[in-house]
Amino acid sequence: MKSRNRFFRRHGYALVFSIALTALTGFVLLDTFVLPHVETVVETVAIETVEQAQTVSQKTNDTAETIVGLAATTTDAADPDEVVVTDDSYSGNGESIVITTQRISGTTVYIADVQLSSADELKTALAQNTFGSNITQTTSGIAAENGAILAINGDYYGANKRGYVIKNGVLYRDSVRQGDDTQDLVIYKDGSFAIIDETQISAQELVDSGVVQLFAFGPVLIDGGDIQVSSSDEVSRSKTSNPRTAIGIVDDLHYIIVVADGRTSQSEGLSLLELAQLMDSYGCSVAYNLDGGGSSTMVFNGTVINNPTTNGKSIAERAVSDIVYIS
């Protein structure tokens, strides 16, 4: 009995020692391998999370850059300095030209709505770049030589021996017009319009006051926002409806330029009153009738867009002495 107890006592101690040793070994192993591994896992997860965050951040930055790029592209597309030309419009450099057509009294009428950024862009040019009588050239020809985006015939100063001639600030002729109608349209350096009477002011005084362009044809269609012609004017001034050319101002550097076809089976032409009423409908405060008939021509981007004719038998430009154009 005593020997058996000694056996259990001896082996019991060994068993307890073995269990304790096993537990201690397990803890060491756990501490050595398992717990650092958990920390590594946590650290790895954290690193992956940061990398993911960096990836998301990079993608966000890329998206932001893309958005900025698109915005820049959109801004560039809307850049007022970018020139865009279509068959009936021009925009660029802060300027715009929009051409529309209307049918008025059985006549096709071409209306150019012009907004400029500088009065310097509204110019005139002489046929063959020369002042004098019997010097002519087609409107399209003069326009091409001067780089015009839009051009119309002028006042055909060369058909008269008298009357003021001021073009681009240069005084070419200072003799007063003969006849009952001595009212001219003048354009000042700032692009504003006014009506003057040659019998009331000298040509040199006009130049000294800042006039850079003068048109001596007429009659005045609108002045001070009021129509200046009536149906009775047709008898003495035009007799019938005709092809017409007119220019008017709406507001600062905002102009309306009109050319009406006529003398054909497709277009009879406009009376002076109809022309004035059209200019008035566009809000012109001043409007003036330029040379008409076979001279009436509108050129846009190098192409004659109306149907100029002298007698209705053929569609062709008449050679003129000068043009008005937008450069």
280 CB-contact burial (10 Å; exposed 0-12 / middle 13-18 / buried 19+)? middle
Residue 65 pLDDT: 52
Residue 232 pLDDT: 77
Rg (CA), the chain: 43
- CB 213, CB 157: distance < 8 Å: no
- CB 327, CB 148: distance < 8 Å: yes
Q: What is the pLDDT along the chain (327 residues), one digit of tens a residue?
A: 444 444 444 444 444 345 444 444 444 444 444 444 433 333 333 334 444 444 444 544 554 454 344 444 444 445 667 999 999 999 998 999 999 999 999 999 999 999 999 999 999 999 999 999 999 999 999 999 999 999 999 999 999 999 999 999 999 999 999 888 999 999 999 999 999 999 999 999 999 999 999 999 999 999 999 999 998 776 555 557 999 999 999 999 999 999 999 999 999 999 999 999 999 999 999 999 999 999 999 999 999 999 999 999 999 999 999 999 999
Query: Which DSSP symbol is given to 318?
Result: P
Give the closest residue to 152 by CA, choosing from 265, 248, 282: 248
Residue 41 pLDDT: 37
Residue 186 pLDDT: 99
> In this structure, how many other beta carbons lie within 10 angstroms of the beta carbon of residue 41?
10
Residue 36 pLDDT: 45
Taking CA atoms, 300 is separated from 51, 105, 319, in Å, by 61, 24, 17
At CB < 8 A and 24+ separation, what contacts does 140-146 make? Answer: 140/297, 140/299, 140/302, 140/303, 140/304, 140/317, 142/320, 142/322, 142/323, 142/325, 143/299, 143/302, 143/323, 143/325, 144/302, 146/323, 146/325, 146/327
